Structure 1
Amino acid sequence: MRFDIITVLPQLLESPFAHSILQRAQQKGKAEIHVHNLRDYATNKQKSVDDYPYGGGSGMVLSIEPFAACIEKLQSERKYDAVIFMTPDGETFNQSIANTLSLKENIMILCGHYKGIDQRIRDLFVTQEISIGDFVLSGGELPAAVVVDAVIRLIPGVLNDETSALSDSFMAGLLDAPVYTRPADWRGNKIPEILLSGHEAKISEWRHEEALKRTEKRRPDLLK
């Protein structure tokens, strides 16, 4: 699986992709992550990629030419299953979207900055718009990292225990059940006895019941 991320601040994405699960996924050859500096496609000597908005108003807008040049170059090299723009007014990202994207082969992600990007880029090139929540960040780099992390961990062979992702919160439409590890008794606080029984069917039933309870209490909207 390949991700191509276009950004005006590639440095913001260096750390998230260089450690832990995402690093191992790349080392194993399960995923490729390529970050492209939008300024490399600037058409002026100053390497500027933004301009004032037509009609006036505050802030700056990322220009159409650099984005179009980068997108078209990448599209000339391979076919993309999705061209995603990270934006607060996009569809709210969830596990279902992550599951769907994990079945793709090539994904391009555009990161906005300042006041946003020229609407014509969204109209002509973008196939999907995604938000990670009802709030505004300085740019689309961190949201892009969130999407990449959520998707890559679903690729078979990325996690050491492939069944781990299947039991995560939201995978079955519920929050996950409480989890415990050793010691079984810590300062008089004991774990539920069922977890020590060794009875897999009963433990599974207990976990499902606890997941239902937690979901009903914290996210009743999921049960609807």
Structure 2
Amino acid sequence: MRIVMLGAPGAGKGTQAQRMVSHFGIPQISTGEIFRENLKRNTPLGREIKEFMEKGELVPDDIVLKIVEERLSHGDCAKGFILDGFPRTLGQAKAFDGDVDVSCVINLSVDDKVLLERLAGRRTCRNCSAVHHISVLKDRKVCPLCGGELFTRQDDAEATITNRMKVYYKNTHPLIEYYRKKGKLIDVNSAQPPQAVFEEIKERIAEL
């Protein structure tokens, strides 16, 4: 099962991908997590992508493709994978299609107002990297999982969120029609509670 997750920032791609990992037994490949790990370790790649991420801009296709191809070569991807954050442009999608036959593309759709509320309220733990929302936190500064310090990621800051949405609609949104025409697209309403979204995803995949 080779799955691609699509959706605007805050649509819940990461959350649903994690649930799918447990259910289907295949790894989640998150380009965002790979980027952040390299930024944290200040690797050559991290330094290369830093200015793009801080501005909310897309990392160039050649860099992203290189990262994804390297990760998919690992043994744990032999039976399938869940791609979260890739492809983000038509160029990436077409280049990827030349190498990999994707099973399905799950598009998590949700109203822009809801997306902005979700993103502006996200807090990330400096210690364990868990992501929480202020709506369910007793203490907005302390991670309920490990006690680490919570902070607002640079790409969750208000100005960056606005730019990320513009970038999404310009570059990534066209992928919806691209995959729809290929008969690969599964539209899922992600304004529902997370478990309801997951149940719908499972039902739709079972119909394939």
TM-score, normalised relative to structure 1: 0.31
TM-score, normalised relative to structure 2: 0.32
Of structures 1 and 2, the one with the larger relative CO (CA 8 A, separation 6+) is 2
Rg comparison, structure with higher value: 1
